[in-house]
Amino acid sequence: MMKQPNLIKRPILVRGSKVIFGFDKPEYAKLATRDPAGTT
């Protein structure tokens, strides 16, 4: 990470089988309405 410190600023959100790299407010909102298994 010391060679590429900009990677530290990139959040990784994992919920069930869904993975989001970086901050994406609309995608975060979609995940907030799903159950952790992603079945709804």
> Which tens digit of pLDDT belongs to each residue from 1-40?
567 776 667 788 888 888 888 888 898 888 888 665 555 5
Residue 36 pLDDT: 59
* CA distance linking residue 19 with residue 10, whole number of Å: 13
Give the tokens for residue 36.
């952790």
- Closest CA relative to residue 30, chosen from 3, 10, 16: 16
Torsion, Cα of 18, 33, 35, 16 (10° steps): 10
